[in-house]
Amino acid sequence: MTSGSRAYFWCDCGKRVVKLYGFGRYFLCRHCSGLFHYSKNEGFWDRSLRQRTKHKQRLSGDASLDAYEMPKPKGMWWRTYYRLGRAAQAAEDRAADDFIIAAGRLVARVPAVRSRAVKSYRRRSEVPTSQTHQSR
C-alpha cells in the first residue's frame, strides 16, 4: 500500500467500507449487521456521565475517585492536570444538572400515572355486594 491510498471492502449491500464485521458465515458492514454507535443513541444525561468518566479516567486511571482527590499522574504537566480537573468537574456538574432535569420530567408524569391507578382501583372495588357474599 502506498502513501495516500486505502484498502476498501465491498459489502453485499453495495457500500464501500473500511471494516466488515463477521456474523456467522457472512461479513457485513455496520449498517447491514445492525450495529450502531452508542454515542449516537445516548441521552443528554448519559453523555454527561460518559464525559465525566472519560476525564477522570485520563486524570488518574480510576473513574471512581472524586475530581479533587485525584493525584497528578507522573509526567503530566500541571497545566494539563488542572485543565482536565476543571473539565471533569464541569462534566460532573453538568451530569448533576441533567439528572435534576430528568428527575423533574419523571416526577411530572407521576400524578397522571397515579390518577389512572386510583381510577382503576375504584373500578375494581365497585363490585356489587351480592357477588362478594357468594364467593365465601
Average pLDDT, the chain: 77
Task: Give the E-state strand segments of the chain in sequence order.
Answer: 9-10, 16-17, 21-23, 26-28
Q: What is the pLDDT of residue 3?
A: 74
As a whole number of Å, the CA-based R_g of the chain is 27
Tell me the HSE value of 29 on the side-chain side, using a 13 A CA sphere. Answer: 13
How confident is the model over 52-87, as pLDDT tens digits? 888 888 887 766 656 557 788 889 899 998 998 898
Cα 19 from chain centroid (whole Å): 25
Q: What is the pLDDT of residue 40?
A: 75
With a cut of 90, say whether residue 135 has pLDDT above it.
Answer: no
Q: Where are the chain's structural domains?
A: 7-36, 43-123
Q: What is the pLDDT of residue 131?
A: 55
C-alpha torsion angle, residues 105, 110, 115, 116 (rounded to 10): 90
Q: What is the pLDDT of residue 77?
A: 93
How confident is the model over 6-46, as pLDDT tens digits? 889 988 888 899 988 887 788 888 888 888 777 777 887 78
Between CA 133 and CA 110 the distance in angstroms is 36
